[in-house]
Amino acid sequence: MNIISSGSKGNSTIIWDGEDAIVIDFGISMKRFNNRIQEIDAQFSNISVVITHEHGDHASGLPVASRRLKGDIYLREKTRNAMKFDRSYVMGDDLCVGNFYIRAIPVSHDAVDPVGYIVEHKGRKISTFSDLGYFPMKYADEVAGSNIIAIEANHDTEMLRTGPYSEHLKRRISSDYGHMSNEQAALALEQISGENTNIVLIHLSDENNTPEIAYKHVRDHLVNRDIKFRSIECAKQVYGSPVFEV
């Protein structure tokens, strides 16, 4: 797995097994995508794209990608209608692509039908949750045991409170339909992380967070409570994440 890009300027993640590749979100250019695939030497024969929601930083590159990737595009029905994107298939609650089983998990965000995804492959599990106001704890048992959990840690609450954003935007970000804070990410991970879990903090705000603050907050919270995990990384807007093998 590799997070190609993560943040308000574009998001995309690729998971592959040498034969099939799953791309979660395409909020980047085709050029950026191709360059990253070459950098990490991702090898696959077939490719499919699933989208979490219709916002531009998660779906703006989809029209070009749909013409050039020669792969299948899957959208939730309401997302497909909102985007008016006919070159796609409707995805229900789950999907099988090659050796991958993908489950859509409803989340709370200001989009028509936003979801996170749990991706399973031969006994291994990757869960990714970006753009959500709070973590859906009723799915905690299903996420628990993931080899990788990519979870939003968008903002530091104090930086957001004292920062330059308008009060209206601050309320939107901190609402149940906005974005998760470092504290919310830590509290969720307290319930879902395990000793084999690689944690990736994603969708960090450039204005209201830093990788150092997010990392320290989440790590200290988990360590102080003796919560097990394998590693913690912060995905970047430009550089994405390391490649994870599971």
pLDDT at position 42 is 96
pLDDT at position 33 is 98
Neighbour tally for 220: CB within 10 Å: 11
pLDDT band at 22 (very low <50, low <70, confident <90, very high): very high
pLDDT at position 77 is 98
DSSP annotation of 196: T
Quote the Cα angle for 219-223-226, to 5°: 145
φ, ψ for residue 49, nearest 5 deg = -120, 135
What are the chain's domains? 2-234 (3.60.15.10)
Average pLDDT, the chain: 97
Q: Residues 155-177: what's their mean pLDDT? A: 97
pLDDT at position 16 is 98
pLDDT digits 0-9 by tens, 110-142 = 999 999 999 999 999 999 999 999 999 999 999
pLDDT at position 157 is 98
pLDDT band at 149 (very low <50, low <70, confident <90, very high): very high
Q: Which class for 195: exposed (0-12), middle (13-18), buried (19 or more C-beta within 10 A)?
A: exposed
pLDDT at position 89 is 97
pLDDT digits 0-9 by tens, 50-86 = 999 999 999 999 999 999 999 999 999 999 999 999 9
DSSP annotation of 206: T
pLDDT at position 129 is 98
Percent of the chain exceeding pLDDT 90 equals: 99
Within the chain, what is the greatest distance between any pair of CA atoms? Answer: 49
Task: Quote the radius of gyration of the chain (alpha carbons, Å).
Answer: 17
- Helix or strand holding residue 190 (H, E): helix 182-192
What pTM, to 2 d.p., does this model score?
A: 0.97
d(CA 236, CA 60): 19
d(CA 191, CA 196): 14
